[in-house]
Structure 1
Amino acid sequence: MDKQPIVVEMKDAEIQCRPTGLCLLAIIMSSIVCWNPAMIVLVDIASSPLYSNQVNQPIESINFNDPSLSISDRRIQYSTSQKSVLFAAIFAGAISGVVPVSLLLQKLGTYKTMIGVGLISIITTAITPFAAITNFYFLVVVRFIQGTTLSNPFPVIGSITNKWSSLKESGFFVSVLTGFIQLSAIFTMPVSGVIASNVGWDVVFYVHAGVCGIVLALWAYNFSDEPHRHPFVSDKEFRKISVGKAPKVSKYNPPYKKIFKTPVIWGIYIATAVNFLFAQFAITFMPMYLVYVAKMNLSLASVLSAIPLILQFFFKCLAGTLSDKITFISDLCKIRMFNTIAFWGSGVLLIVCALVPNTNQIVTTIIVIAAVSLLGFNAGGFTKCSVIVSRQFSPTVMAVMQVIMCLSLFSGSFMVPGLTHNGTKEQYNIVFFIYAACLFVGNIVFCLLAKGEAAEWTKPVVEENKTFRNTFVLTPESLGPTEDPKAAYENNAFTTVSELPDSTVNPTVSQGESIFETIPIDVEEAPELSENRTAPQKPDREQVDNV
């Protein structure tokens, strides 16, 4: 006897796929970010047992990486340039992996690609302590390979949003998924700080590798590339997900030339560059700022570093929800409003922080936390704009956003350490002024180019079929009730699927919209159509089957 399909409420499948994707992206990012608090202990020779035991012996003559010590007790003194290289290796790997990983996404799908990416993350994270104590260049290679796992978050977000989100909920979907950066730091900063200070810097990497393995197993069990193939997706949920979307196509062919000739896309890319230039401060350099400038211990600095990211994630969800729910102003106005709050709000606070005297460390810390937190409103700005404008081609647009993100993080890896080699307040003030200037200019450019509607190249184009001399648009009435919309979608019977009332299984059509694919029929066999083609005769079922 065939096993009956599992039918659950829409929210159940959504709960599985959206948070699973968020958690997998977050733990992969966490496995990279955990290097930052671990490195603070790794380079702190004063915490080494050899440091306290020295008797009239120059520090330079002591081997703090002595093989007789346990890995947790070993210390390595990196120069400023070596620290920059170790930061940059991640983003160099991410840049080099964008093209091959994007090709894998198109060929294998999101599900299989992310399993491979997750395995790479687990292995490279677990061997990072061994690489660190073995050889600097070996560690650079490991960091470079680990960086390839950061090559595809935005294309994955675009793919998940396009396939699993209804158009009405796209803002909230994007805000949640793009929160993987904040969620990663919220988990990593306090956990890594406590473990590195009290257990050992190497244990930080082992913990993250283990958690990544657990989350990857949940991804493999719960996720599916296609909603209509997911066992927990009901017909009602599938119709809600699919309404208003472009038809299922057998081959993904992005119109690259048209995409790059669209001004709003360039506005999105400029906003992306500015956003992640500043975002890197929160995920990489904020613990160092609190330790070196505010004179906090590592454990306290790690906990405080998580606070603005918690607030940032909250603001992301708030902006995404408000962007979907507010209907009395246009999408374009909402996009400009939220992006301005994020960029100009953060920029103003950074300038204020730079002008506050160094003696008011508590005040400057509060202002920095507020500046980083406001950046969360970008979920209703350029990130949502990218999904609205590019629709089914959002993975392609976001793949370029991924490259730009990596380039911004790569440049910041050299800019900030190069300007703050002594870790003073005055040096960080220069960094804050640079951030503020970029945020102001970037927002102006984006708001001038932004759009609140889908681009022309996202709309389905029906090519002329030389075999047939006429076309016939099938309607729900001409085909009769559809009992299995997921099977129909699999066979390309729909262009869009409308949400149905609970009392019927027969699809309804929203105003001005046909839910069935345009099917060519030979003019000699097709019934005569009226001039406006609005009331075709109902064809025989045999005729439709022959088509």
Structure 2
Amino acid sequence: IKMTHKFRLIILLLASACLSMMMANILTLNFCILCMTENQFTYEDQNIKFGYDIFQSIASGESFTSGVASDAIAELSPLKFKFPSMFDFTPGFNKTSFKLAENHPELFLRIIKMVTLGLCKNGTEKVAEQVDLLNVDIEQIRNGFNFTAIDPKLTASAKEHIIGVAEATSELMNAEGKKVSKWMKTKPEDLELRNLTWDGVVSLRRRVIAKRADYEYNAQERSILFAAIAIGALIAIIPITAGIHRYGCRKSFTAVGVIAATATAFCPLAASFGIIPFTFMRMLQGVGYAACMPVIGSVTSTWASLGESGLFSGALTSFIQLGPVIAMPLSGILCVSPAGWPSVFYVHSGITFMLITLWWTLYRDSPTGSRYVTAKELAIIQDGKLCTSKGNANSDKLPLRRIYTSLSAWAVWIAAIGNMCSIQMVVVFAPTYLNQVLGFQLINVGFAAALPTLLQCVVKIIAGMSSDKIGFLGETAKVRVFNSIAFIGMGSFLVALALLPNSSPLVALACLIGSATVLGFNTGGFFKSCVLIGRQYSHFINANIQIIMCVAMLLVPFVVYSMTPSGSPSEWRSVFLLHAALLFITNAVFCVIGQGEAADFTHSSSQDGTTAHSTTSKDTSVYKMAVIEQPISIHAEKNS
């Protein structure tokens, strides 16, 4: 590696890539659940004669008895009336006389019923008189009519009749007298009715399961699999933080990465053993997610110069957006490949192992321990930082009571609830909504689901830079304005998404993308407020935000699945409106009590001798403090 005095930027890119893969690993199931539980179908085109009963089932939903149909045929014989029976089907209703069928389908179907009954009762002359009175040219409907030109609601009873007859017949024959495959467990949605001739021959396409889904998970089991990530993360947060403090970030994150990569690779095998082993592997994937925030703090404090702390923080925290950008398109391509859905887990695991190997090779817990850091770069990194002994560093105290009674801190946490729940809903369930409701193909779903978070990452950077440069507003006003743009913007897009008709999938996709993109303004909102009010204690406020992230990951799947048992568009409307309301309410609270100035708990006497070169003037938009080389052990303040 060439000594260019920029090795810290290589560390930044490497750390960002590793963190993004931790996020991508936990998102593998979000896409694979579609492939794992999806049946593979083949389609059979058939022409089957169901007789005249089919007309009555269409007209009124009540089938003729077999006796009526037999009597009708018997009475037709002496009349020598010949029904058309042709298999070159018409593309639709013919000429002007078929405007009646298009404008008044129910009336047209009653006419069909009258024709069949009239032939039995009165003969051809009487039928001709009745038909002529309605101005219907019998010549134009000699071949029957096309099902695709009729309201599907009117053919529902016909499908039920067809399924009932076909499944009750031991040897089903087509119109040519050839035996067709046995119908079993056929559903109305498995049939596409195309054409019906006057003698009751139905042309249809039947969907048949060629290969059943590998697994079937009910709503509760799916919720458990998604929630397992959050459970594993919550359990692992404290041990990982302690491990980084005691053994350093290099060893600890390497161990975490190996655990996460191994668990990801074993997910397909665990799934074959049952829901419990699969859930356990998902919990181990959550260990990688739990390490993200502690690693961000450690890397930033160790490798970033004071003037680059914003760059490091912005780049490293973008793992939330970059994870889906990696996982969704890659999963979409692999799921439809010959390797199938298991390859999604294997490829993600392989990439993680590769990056963790680079991490172990290149990363050091201090720039002084890296042979790739020049003396000039080391001076840049350490400029302005105060090195203290470990014992002195451990004397810092955390004012827990004052933090937890601070309204400005609660404003940040309440805003985080709305933010994390909403973005969790979009990240986790966007593939499901795009595929099952909007009807996008799986390979397109992967790219479409990744686009919102990718655009949000761009907006985050732009919003953060803009917030720092705006000088005509105070910090409190700025954080409230930016937070309102993010929350009200996303909420408005979700409301529009809920109100859109199902016939506008591209507009719905645009609203989904817009909802996640505009949320990127939160970097100038409650995220920035966290730094401004917390100052030297902002890491602790961020730790509570991470807990909120894990809890949201735990609860949101249960809420969404409980609200969408059948996955209908109306159920998804309720989901979008609920999260929109949550955004509006939490933003209102933040705008009332949220602040952009240092909170009272930052003025603690215990800080003497622990910081250097700090500024708290109104002209400074971001609070900077010296970062101590040695790990800091934070103790709670003691009540006097």
- TM norm structure 1: 0.75
CA distance in 2, matches of 1:94, 1:408: 12
Q: Structure 1 residues 457, 157: closer, same or farther in 2, change over 3 A? A: farther
Distance 1:113 1:119 in 2: 10
Aligned partner of 1:176 among 315, 324, 334:
315
In the other structure, the counterpart of 2:247 is 108
1:18 aligns with 2:4: no
State the match for 2:534 in structure 1.
Answer: 390
Matched, 1:310 2:449: no
Residue equivalent to 2:336: 197
Match of 2:631 in 1: none
Decide which moves more: 377-386 or 242-251.
242-251
Residue 255 of structure 1 corresponds to 398
> Percent identity, aligned pairs only?
32
Cα drift, residue 138 of structure 1: 1.1
For 2:466 and 2:358, the matched residues in 1 are separated by 30
How many corresponding residue pairs?
454
RMSD over aligned Cα, in angstroms?
3.3
Contact 1:243 1:497 in 2 (8 A): no
C-alpha deviation, 1:349, in angstroms: 1.3
Equivalent-residue separation in structure 1 for 2:349 and 2:555 (angstroms): 27
Match of 1:403 among 530, 547, 552: 547
The verdict on how the C-alpha distance between 1:331 and 1:44 changes in structure 2, with shifts beyond 3 A counting, is same
1:45–1:28 Cα change, 3 Å: same
Which of 318, 338, 346 in structure 2 is aligned with 1:206?
Answer: 346
Residue type at the aligned position of 1:75: D
**Is the contact between residue 158 and residue 394 of structure 1 (CA under 8 Å) also seen in structure 2?**
no
**Residue type matched to 1:105 in 2?**
I
Task: Note the C-alpha offset of 1:21.
Answer: 1.8
1:83 to 203, 210, 222: 222
Deviation of 1:333 after TM superposition, in Å, equals 3.3
**Alignment CA distance shift 1:195-1:399 (3 Å):** same
Aligned to 1:524: none
* Alpha-carbon distance in 2 for matches of 1:452, 1:423: 42
**What CA deviation, in whole Å up to 9, does each residue of 1:328-357 have, x standing for no partner?**
544333322322221111111111221222
Name the structure 2 match of 1:121. 260
- Which residue in the other structure is 1:279 paired with? 423
* Aligned residues of 2:233 and 2:286 also touching (Cα < 8 A): yes
Q: 1:92 Cα deviation (Å)?
A: 1.4
- Structure 1 counterpart of 2:54: none
For 1:103 and 1:383, locate their aligned partners in 2 and report how far apart those are by CA, in whole Å. 25
Is 1:157–2:301 an aligned residue pair? Answer: no
> Which residue, 564, 586, 589 being the options, matches 1:445?
589
1:218 is matched with which residue? Answer: 358
Of 247, 271, 280, 1:141 maps to: 280
1:430-487: per-residue Cα shift (whole Å, max 9, x none)? 11111111111212222333333445655685799xxxxxxxx9xxxxxxxxxxxxxx
In the alignment, structure 2 segments of 5+ residues that lack a partner are: 44-180, 187-210, 616-623, 629-640
The CA distance in 1 between the partners of 2:625 and 2:298, in whole Å, is: 24
Letter in 2 for 1:208: H
1:351-370 matches, within 5 Å, as 351-370=495-514
> 1:45: Cα distance to partner?
2.2
Going from structure 1 to structure 2, the CA distance change for 1:450 and 1:222 (only over 3 Å counts) comes to farther
CA contact (8 A) 2:411 2:593 kept: yes
For the 8 Å contact 2:254–2:360, the answer to whether it is kept is: yes
2:509 partner letter: T
Q: Tell me the amino acid that sits aligned with residue 224 of structure 1.
A: R
AA at the equivalent of 1:39: I
Larger Cα Rg: Structure 1 or Structure 2? 2
The answer as to 2:584 corresponding to 1:432 is no
Name the structure where strand makes up a greater proportion of residues: 2
Q: Say which SS state the counterpart of residue 40 (structure 2) adopts.
A: helix
Q: 1:374: how far off?
A: 1.0
Per the alignment, residue 64 of structure 1 pairs with none
Name the CA distance, whole Å, in 2 between partners of 1:396 and 1:230.
Answer: 29
In the aligned structure 2, how far is the partner of 1:447 from the partner of 1:386?
A: 14
Q: State the Cα distance separating 1:44 from its structure 2 match.
A: 0.7
- Amino acid aligned to 1:283: V
Deviation readout 1:31-72 (Å, 9 max, x if unpaired): 1101111111100122699xxxx965669xxxxxxxxxxxx9
CA distance in 1 between counterparts of 2:484 and 2:384 reads 29
DSSP-derived class of the 1:421 partner: coil
Cα offset, 1:145, TM superposition: 2.3
CA distance in 1, matches of 2:13, 2:462: 17
Q: Is the 8 A contact 2:40 2:212 kept in 1?
A: no
Q: Which moved more, 1:375-384 or 1:79-88?
A: 375-384
Q: Deviations over 1:272-308 (max 9, x none)?
A: 2211101112321001101111111111111111111
Match of 1:299 among 415, 440, 443: 443
Aligned residues of 1:155 and 1:398 also touching (Cα < 8 A): no
Q: Determine the structure 2 residue equivalent to 1:530.
A: none
Normalised by the size of structure 2, how large is the TM-score?
A: 0.65
Question: Which residue number corresponds to residue 46 of structure 1?
Answer: 40
For residues 365 and 338 of structure 1, the distance between their equivalents in structure 2, rounded to whole angstroms, comes to 24
The verdict on how the C-alpha distance between 1:73 and 1:187 changes in structure 2, with shifts beyond 3 A counting, is: farther
C-alpha distance in 1 between matches for 2:253 and 2:262: 14
Distance 1:328 1:238 in 2: 37
Separation (CA, whole Å) in 2 of partners of 1:497 and 1:368:
42
CA–CA separation in structure 1 for the residues paired with 2:475 and 2:383: 19
CA contact (8 A) 1:97 1:151 kept: yes
Alpha-carbon separation, structure 2, partners of 1:310 and 1:75: 32
CA contact (8 A) 2:7 2:373 kept: yes
SS in 1 for 2:336: helix
Following superposition, the deviation at residue 232 of structure 1 comes to 4.6
Residues 309 and 338 (structure 1), Cα distance of their counterparts in 2 relative to 1, 3 Å cut: same
Kept in 2, the 8 Å contact 1:247–1:496? The answer is no
Deviates more, 1:73-82 or 1:293-302: 73-82
The residue that corresponds to 1:99 in the other structure is 238
> Partners in 1 of 2:364 and 2:581 — Cα distance?
43
Written as runs of structure 1 = structure 2, the 5 A alignment for 1:315-334 is 315-334=459-478
Q: Kindly provide the CA deviation profile for residues 214-251 of structure 1, in whole angstroms up to 9, marking residues without a partner as x.
A: 11122223333334555455566556556666764524
